[in-house]
Amino acid sequence: MARGQVKATWRKPAGMFAILALILFWVVVVASFSVQIGALPVLVQALVYVVLGIVWIAPLKPLLRWMETGRWRA
């Protein structure tokens, strides 16, 4: 392999599908609690949705590392 060439792997497409599946799963989970969240005061709702909007990112770091290096841990 010549210098600078990158070998294509199956990890990146698989990781993309895993990210999409994670987002879909998270949307379904959050939407299933929408009635309970909707009963809260507006400012609390905003806080809950902001926190839930950030929490789903946590599992992405190891997944992105695996996509790039093939290892789950540093």
24-74 pLDDT per residue, tens:
999 999 999 999 999 999 999 999 999 999 998 888 888 999 888 888 777
Packing angle, helices 60-69 and 11-32, rounded to 10: 170
List of residues 6+ apart from 51 with CB closer than 8 A: none
pLDDT value of residue 15: 92
**Is the pLDDT at 1 greater than 70, yes or no?**
no
pTM of the model: 0.75
Give 49's contacts (C-beta < 8 A, 6+ positions apart): 30, 37
